[in-house]
Amino acid sequence: MKNIYKNSPKNLNKAKKLLRKNNIIVVPTETVYGLAGNAYSNSSIKKIYKLKKRPKINPLIIHYSNIESLKKDAHIDEKFIKLYKKFSPGPLTYILRKRKNSKISPLANANLKTIAVRFPKNKIIRTLLKKLKFPLAIPSANISSAISPVSCNDVLDEFGKKIKFVLDGGSAKIGLESTVINLYGKTQILRPGLITKNQISQVLNKKIKIQKKTDKIISPGLLKRHYSPGIPVKLNCKTKEDKAAFIVFGKKYKNNNKDIFNLSKSGDLEEAARKLYKTFRKIKNLGFKTINVVKIPNKKIGIAINDRLRKAAN
Ligand code: AMP
Ligand code: MG
């Protein structure tokens, strides 16, 4: 496909030029593929919201290559430093207080006092960030509320010819969005991910909780979030309904019928996370009208899988 570009110095330079002119491109990250734009530019941010059909009240995550460049845009504290040392670069997003003189477009953080920031680990996006004089706003490269893309083909499935430049990074290593932790006000997890609340609690030496539905909404995008394959999803199924696609997990399900999709035959939750969105997309494109899902163990990254499944089933 001619809008997919392999990782090479020439193509990274091309990406840099496009971003400097406030164009939007697609980039790989270790979590999912993202739509990237200059976070300092109002016009770039407007283009991102328009492409994704994302509600303007749902702020974007700003991506940096290092802590020095972040300091111009956000206030950092001891908790942040501790977590940063342990988990960044990687799939952890921090909510921090935005500096008054920050150049981040207010459209990117829905005019809030805070910004969400992340230091991605994927080599391609890191190399690109290091070449730029501005951070990148990068939400997932899908239409708002749909399934996140984990490969270049998924991006094309979402946007078709609307996207002119996709940097190819192969399949996303993790396949689920980052853990989001609030560090402004009550320290709590707003979205579970690969990095768990136990790991975070250990580093902060304090019991950290996952935000409950009943708590005050500080992450405007989270409640409406769907991760939806566009067809009904039914959870905790013991057996399969007639004509439904059945998503299963573990050794118990050896059956290779074409309506059974095993997220991990060996019962590996990280493999299941990697395959979840790919499986949703496959089932949708095969034309199934409903999805049944077995119970997935609610531990480690299984907590994040169950979070996305619940939202998909909503
Ligand atoms: P994504 O669409 O995967 O990039 O998700 C970004 C998530 O971070 C969404 O759920 C947003 O609501 C959340 N988020 C971004 N910025 C903020 C912020 N300043 N405060 C709270 N949540 C935020
Ligand atoms: Mg998203």
Backbone angles phi, psi at 313, to 5 degrees: -85, -10
d(C-alpha 5, C-alpha 189), whole Å: 35
Q: Closest Cα to residue 73, out of 92, 47, 50, 99? A: 99
For residues 44 and 185, state if they share a domain: yes
The domain total for the chain is 2
Q: Which ligand is nearest to the CA of 92?
A: 1
Ligand 2 centroid, distance to 140 Cα (angstroms): 4
State the burial class of residue 305 (Cβ atoms within 10 Å of its Cβ: 0-12, 13-18, 19+). buried
For ligand 1, is residue 61 a contact (CB within 6 Å)? Answer: yes
Closest-lying ligand to the alpha carbon of 138? 1
Q: Which two tokens stand for residue 179?
A: 């853990």
Instruction: State if residue 114 touches ligand 1 by the CB under 6 angstroms criterion.
Output: yes
Do 188 and 252 have their domain in common?
A: no
pLDDT in tens, the chain (314 residues): 679 999 999 999 999 999 999 999 999 999 999 999 999 999 999 999 999 999 999 999 999 999 999 999 999 999 999 999 999 999 999 999 999 999 999 999 999 999 999 999 999 999 999 999 999 999 999 999 999 999 999 999 999 989 999 999 999 999 999 999 999 999 999 999 999 999 999 999 999 999 987 667 677 666 555 788 999 999 999 999 999 999 999 999 876 689 999 999 999 999 999 999 999 999 999 999 999 999 999 999 999 999 999 999 98
Q: Is residue 226 part of a domain?
A: no
In total, the chain counts a number of residues equal to 314
Q: Is the CB of 307 under 6 A from ligand 1?
A: no
Same domain, 200 and 238: no
Domain that holds residue 48: 4-204
- 25 membership: H or E segment, kind and range: strand 25-27
Whether 98 and 107 have beta carbons less than 8 Å apart is answered as no
Q: Any idea what the CATH number is for the domain that residue 303 is in? A: 3.40.50.11030
Helix (H, G, I), strand (E, B) or coil at 235: coil
Q: Is residue 210 in a domain?
A: no
**Is 181 touching ligand 1 by the criterion CB < 6 Å?**
no
Q: Answer yes or no: do 197 and 139 share one domain.
A: yes
Give the Cα separation of 119 and 178 in Å (integer): 11
Asked whether residue 74 falls in the same domain as residue 151, the answer is yes
Q: Give the closest residue to 80 by CA, choosing from 71, 60, 216.
A: 71
* CA 19 and chain centroid, separation: 20
Tell how far the Cα of 183 is from the centroid of ligand 2, in angstroms: 21
Nearest ligand atom owner, CA of 218: 1
List C-alpha distances in Å: 304 to 15, 234, 293: 32, 17, 15
Q: What is the C-alpha separation between 289 and 197, in angstroms, rounded?
A: 35
Using a 6 Å cutoff on CB, does residue 219 contact ligand 1?
Answer: yes
pTM: 0.96
